[in-house]
């Protein structure tokens, strides 16, 4: 940091030396002090004669020694008169001497000294005088230096000094600052999200040239909230806005505002907004704003008070923008339902942009972008790959391409082919392969379990098309039956959900039919089926006994204070009826699926046998088995 010039010092304040100048002064002072101590000690030694112990005793007998000082094994003394013939530096004669006592005590020494009237002094072994001086002086120098440095930093803060380093920099903003042109991401790098890009395009246009909008009396939105599931490109879209507008970009995660010190969050918010206003037009991007923007008054402890102070400061700053301060606040969250109402009102976050999971054309465009730097083989079909990745986010698709490239590198290939793409997709969806040795009985159980899922999925008219069945352990599952929806679904019919329940219960029903008992392998199936059945009864009104009534409960987000305090809006009797309806729905569907598998036992045995032989069956192979069994009868959805 450069020293402050006197001309820049505010009135009433004296100029303050920068930390570098003060540090140099302290170093020079300590160096001069040590050199002076060393020089004094050296000058003293130049006026002393170094005697052997025998010569020392001889001088005592010759009555040439007046006094000695004992300090441990070291003996220093004074001659009665200058030592003849021994000259020191210059023309001065030596009047002092030093010697060392032998390690074994000499019983003749003290009587000899008393006989010749030699004065004896004794000192402790704490070292020479200048060492003792340093030991007593250095702690005080350190304390004084610490207080001096603290006063300098505090004066710099009062005079508007900047910088987040040092022990007083914890109140400074941790936002990463990107200069104009430093963000090279543009809207061309964001595939899909056409509606979201259209909403944000006018923001970048306004920041580049606000005059056309100002002529029409339009005001720039102060805040834009990007909402969507994880991995849908909220952060990427914010960077693209900054890149298109070519303005400074301040990026920070909301959790970085909070520290162990009270008031630090609010101070960092003030510092960040102050920096952005100086650089206006500018963009501030706050990621995961729900970590500090949750509804106030829901905290269960004192730690939440600091979060609420930080939120209050953000609300304050967003209200304090002047018309000429073209600063836009972009924030991202995947939990908009928990944000404080004051944060969501117009004047704070005027615009809410929802980012959904990409549809098939968007997934193809995203795959094209992420496959730019990957050498692809001629058989790679990104259109088919986009169709096989329903429900994938942009981050998932990027990970899929990267996994395929890693598999190609592991196998020593120079290109990524379609087989590697499909293997990478299976790894992302199903998990990695597990090295697990199953006994023959376990393999047979898993084969019939997965065959039950596959047969039910093939015969029910409203179920999603079957894609693949495997009994190779992957992830946490011993086997997997995979279905690929034929089209993007945003609304679910009762017949589709009813058949979906049937596919989930197909594995357990197959075990009961073939082995006469069930196993623990259907745990995840039962969990998913119970959740789906409860939603059908309590959320979607798909129960004749309950009727068209929705019963929402607060257990889904129990970590939120306001939902922990929320009372259930239905009686205990209604809760019992709901439980009975969920249980009855699952039991009734299990009976129907059991009858369906019993009617198609030959097909079930054929699929299980093929799984035991090949371990993995594609849809075409299962379709061939179905065609070979003329007695296969499809089930009926509700």
Q: Which domains does the chain have, with CATH numbers?
A: 47-125 (3.30.720.210), 176-354 (3.40.50.300), 371-430 (1.10.8.60), 440-628 (1.20.58.760)
Candidate from 309-323, 432-446, 556-570 with smallest mean pLDDT: 556-570
Instruction: Round to whole Å and give the CA distance between 438 and 442.
Output: 6
Task: Using DSSP, state whether 225 is helix, strand or coil.
Answer: strand
Lowest mean pLDDT among 86-90, 511-515, 579-583: 86-90
pLDDT tens digits for 10-19?
333 433 344 4
63 is catalytic: no
Q: What is the mean pLDDT of residues 356-376?
A: 88
Spell out the residues 6+ positions from residue 588 whose beta carbon is closer than 8 angstroms to its own. none
Query: What is the structure's pLDDT at 594?
Result: 93
232 among annotated binding-site residues: yes
Instruction: Give CA–CA dist 380/322, Å, rounded.
Output: 54
Nearest to 59 by CA among 82, 88, 43: 82
Q: Tell me the three-class secondary structure of 400-461, residue by residue.
A: HHHHHHHHHHHCCCCCECHHHHHHHHHHHHHCCECCCCCCHHHHHHHHHHHHHHHHHHHHCC
Distance CA 472, CA 480 (A): 8
Q: With cut-offs at 50, 70 and 90, classify the pLDDT of residue 43.
A: low
453 assigned binding-site residue: yes
What is the mean pLDDT of the segment spanning 168-178? 57
- Mean pLDDT in the chain? 77
Q: 450, 581, 590, 592: which one is catalytic?
A: 450
**Joined tokens for residue 185:** 């991401």
Q: Please check the confidence at residue 56 and state whether its pLDDT lies above 50.
A: yes
Q: How far apart are CA 621 and CA 624, in angstroms?
A: 5
Q: Say whether 231 counts as a known binding-site residue.
A: yes
* pTM metric for this prediction: 0.64
Establish whether 587 is an annotated binding residue: no
Single out the residue of 481, 405, 483, 471 nearest to residue 434, CA to CA.
Answer: 471
Q: For residues 527-547, give the mean pLDDT.
A: 91
Instruction: Return d(Cα 215, Cα 39) in angstroms, integer.
Output: 79
pLDDT in tens, 586-596: 999 999 999 99
Say if residue 179's pLDDT is above 80. Answer: no
Query: Is 461 labeled as ligand-binding?
Result: no
């Amino acid at each position: 940091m450069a020293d402050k010039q006197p001309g820049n010092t505010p009135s009433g304040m004296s100029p303050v030396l920068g930390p570098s100048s003060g540090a140099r002064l302290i170093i020079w002072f300590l160096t001069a002090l040590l050199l002076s101590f060393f020089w004094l000690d050296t000058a003293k030694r130049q006026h002393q004669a170094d005697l052997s112990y025998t010569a020392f005793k001889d001088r005592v007998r010759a009555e040439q020694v007046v006094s000695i000082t004992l300090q441990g094994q070291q003996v220093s003394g004074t001659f009665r008169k200058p030592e003849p013939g021994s000259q020191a530096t210059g023309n001065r004669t030596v009047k002092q001497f030093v010697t060392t006592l032998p390690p074994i005590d000499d019983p003749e020494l003290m009587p000899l000294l008393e006989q010749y009237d030699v004065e004896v002094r004794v000192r402790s072994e704490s070292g020479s005088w200048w060492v003792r001086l340093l030991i007593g002086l250095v702690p005080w120098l350190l304390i004084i230096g610490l207080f001096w440095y603290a006063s300098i930093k505090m004066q710099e803060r009062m005079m508007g000094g900047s910088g987040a380093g040092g022990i007083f920099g914890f109140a400074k903003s941790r936002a990463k600052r990107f200069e104009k042109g430093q963000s090279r991401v543009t809207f061309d790098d964001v595939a899909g999200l056409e509606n979201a890009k259209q909403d944000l395009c006018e923001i970048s246009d306004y920041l580049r040239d606000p005059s056309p909008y100002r002529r029409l009396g339009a005001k720039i939105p102060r805040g834009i909230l990007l909402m969507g599931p994880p991995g849908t490109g909220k952060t990427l879209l914010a960077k693209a806005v900054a890149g298109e507008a070519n303005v400074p970009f301040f990026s920070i995660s909301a959790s970085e505002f909070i520290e162990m010190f009270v008031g630090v969050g609010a101070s960092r918010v003030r510092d960040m907004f102050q920096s952005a206003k100086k650089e206006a037009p500018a963009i501030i991007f706050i990621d995961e704003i729900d970590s500090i923007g949750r509804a106030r008054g829901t905290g269960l402890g004192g730690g939440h008070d600091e979060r609420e102070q930080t939120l209050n400061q953000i609300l304050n700053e967003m209200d304090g923008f002047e018309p000429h301060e073209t600063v836009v606040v972009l924030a991202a969250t995947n939990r908009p339902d928990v944000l404080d109402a004051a944060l969501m009102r117009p004047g704070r976050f005027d615009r809410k942009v929802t980012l959904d999971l990409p549809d098939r054309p968007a997934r193809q465009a995203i795959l094209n972008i992420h496959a730019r730097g990957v050498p692809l083989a001629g058989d790679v079909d990104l259109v088919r790959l986009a169709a096989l990745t329903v429900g994938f986010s942009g981050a998932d698709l990027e990970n899929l391409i990267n996994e395929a490239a890693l598999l190609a590198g592991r196998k020593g290939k120079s290109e990524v082919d379609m087989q590697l793409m499909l293997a990478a997709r299976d790894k992302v969806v199903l998990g990695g392969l597990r090295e697990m040795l199953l006994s023959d009985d376990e393999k047979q159980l898993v084969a019939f379990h997965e065959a039950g899922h596959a047969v039910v999925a093939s015969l029910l008219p409203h179920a999603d098309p079957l894609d693949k069945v495997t009994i190779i352990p992957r992830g946490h599952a011993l086997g997997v039956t995979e279905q690929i929806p034929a089209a993007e679904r945003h609304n679910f019919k009762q017949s589709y959900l009813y058949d979906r329940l049937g596919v989930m219960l197909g594995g357990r029903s197959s075990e009961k039919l073939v082995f006469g008992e069930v196993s623990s392998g259907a745990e995840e199936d039962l969990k998913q089926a119970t959740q789906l059945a409860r939603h059908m009864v309590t959320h979607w009104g798909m129960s004749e006994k309950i009727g068209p009534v929705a019963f929402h409960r607060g257990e889904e987000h129990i970590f939120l204070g306001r939902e922990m305090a929320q009372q259930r809006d239905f009686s205990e009797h209604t809760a019992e009826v709901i439980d009975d309806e969920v249980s009855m729905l699952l039991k009734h569907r299990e009976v129907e699926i059991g009858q369906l598998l019993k009617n198609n036992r030959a097909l079930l045995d054929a699929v299980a046998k093929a799984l035991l032989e090949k371990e993995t069956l594609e849809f075409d192979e299962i379709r061939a088995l179905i065609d070979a069994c003329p007695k296969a009868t499809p089930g009926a959805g509700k």
